[in-house]
Amino acid sequence: MAKSIFRELQKVVIDKEKIVKRFYKAPFWNDEPKFFCYVSEINFRHYGIKCSDRYASGIDYFSEELAKIKSLGEAIERFFIANINAEKMIVNSYSNLKNNAISPQLFIAFSPRQIESLKLEEFLVREDSKIGWTKAVDLLSKREILLPAQLIYVPYPISEPIIRLPITTGAAFHISLYEAIYKGLCEVLERDAFMIYWLNKIPPYEIDLKTLDNQQIDNLRETFIKYNLKWHVFFLKTDFPIWNIMSLLLDESGIGPAISVGLSSDFSLIKAILHSAAEAQSGRLFVRNISSTKKEKFFSISPDEICTHEQRGLFWADKKRIKLLDFLFKGEKLRNIKQSENYPKSSKKRISLLLNVIRSMDYHCFYKQLSELKIGKVKGYVIKVLVPELCPLYLNERFKYLGCKRIYEVPRKMGFEALDEKRLNKVPHPFL
């Protein structure tokens, strides 16, 4: 099955549409764990798209074909999220579009204190500000609405007042529309959980992997031990009935990057653990590949100046910074978890379950379909999911999103101490 899907993807993405101009198996460091990793170089220039982040990788610990599919799928996702159709975009103000549009104010994630102290005039979007709008769907009401286009596309080269900095959170590709929406929604949830725990320095639950009784996880744990990597897995429990998992790889040797983090949310605990581990390993390889030439430059960077993946990754490559993670190891241990398989098997029902929670909280949930590709006998969908009330991930340390109410409300719900804005964690987070 996986082989045939890959062949059809290859025909469309590489041969016909030329979205990917180079596809190859990633080279390995001899002293790193061995797994399947493929890289796609996205052909942005062929389509006149200005985007410097042109490489998409796919990793799988157990299947070479799945690693290939993941790489091409990531390339498709990144290509269409960068491909702005200016002709279909509406340029107008919210005050003129009120009946059909979602207010930009719903997405403002800075606190009043930040707006005043940082003088964020470029982030002040008013009702009469003229910005680009694109058609999307309200997942709760099922009606078509207009969303600010800058919240969908990455990068967003159009000059207009900024609501949030462009980011791929919530974007996903799959041959099932419902599975794509589910994947996008899970990514929004994983990052919401991570930011809440990181900013409040909440000790998460640590899962004792030895007690899970799962062969794939046992094999992976033994592999990491063989290469002197410490693998920690944490459960970031929130008010959503889903496993928000963080994998942390620690390397105390001083040879490779000291700290690598991966995130994943899923109703399946095992899937979430394996996916988060692959993300952490992917980030580790990314940092290791650039550290040989840029290490000294970025080890000395001021934390407040971090604004790129390279800077963030190399900041956390220094083993001296492991001690900054001490709070993560002060939580309870979870042992002998009973892996319930009672969650809905269809992605449509899983989405419905999560939407019921979102509705009960009086939140919103939207998705934008960016493409519909014919791949053999099936279709492939690229979408992006937005839940404005969930805590967004930030990548620029100058522009932290500290105005999200969930940063302060969810810890209290979970029985933890919630910090006020001035006491929030000032250390740059380690997620790439």
Averaged pLDDT, 407-414: 97
Please give the Cα distance from 102 to 112 (Å, whole number): 21
Averaged pLDDT, 159-183: 97
- What does the pLDDT look like over 74-115, one tens digit per residue? 999 999 999 998 888 999 999 999 889 999 999 999 999 998
Closest CA to 276 of 215, 227, 317, 235: 235
Taking 90 as the threshold, does the pLDDT of residue 332 lie above it?
A: yes
Taking 70 as the threshold, does the pLDDT of residue 57 lie above it?
A: yes
How sure is the predictor about 299, in pLDDT bands with cuts at 50, 70 and 90? low
Return the CATH fold of 201-334. Double Stranded RNA Binding Domain (3.30.160)
Query: What's the per-residue H, E or C state across 296-352?
Result: HHHHCCCHHHCCCHHHHHHHCCCHHHHHHHHHHHHCCEECCCCCCCCCCCCHHHHHH
* Residue whose entry in the numeric block shows the structure tokens 């094999």: 219
Q: Is 201-334 in the same CATH topology as 1-82?
A: yes
Which CATH number fits the domain 1-82, given the four candidates 1.10.3470, 3.30.160, 2.30.30, 3.40.50?
Answer: 3.30.160
Averaged pLDDT, 47-65: 90
How sure is the predictor about 199, in pLDDT bands with cuts at 50, 70 and 90? very high
Name the token pair of 297.
């430059």
E-only strand ranges, 175-242: 205-207, 230-235
How sure is the predictor about 370, in pLDDT bands with cuts at 50, 70 and 90? very high
What's CA 214's distance to the chain center, in Å?
Answer: 26
Domain ranges (residues) in the chain = 1-82, 201-334
Taking 90 as the threshold, does the pLDDT of residue 292 lie above it?
A: no
How sure is the predictor about 269, in pLDDT bands with cuts at 50, 70 and 90? very high
Amino acid at 256: G
Looking at residue 63, its pLDDT comes to 95
Helix (H, G, I), strand (E, B) or coil at 10: helix
Please give the Cα distance from 13 to 151 (Å, whole number): 25
Looking at residue 186, its pLDDT comes to 99
Looking at residue 293, its pLDDT comes to 67
Taking 70 as the threshold, does the pLDDT of residue 384 lie above it?
A: yes
- What is the chain's mean pLDDT, rounded? 94
Q: Tell how many helices (H) and how many strands (E) occur in the chain.
A: 10, 14
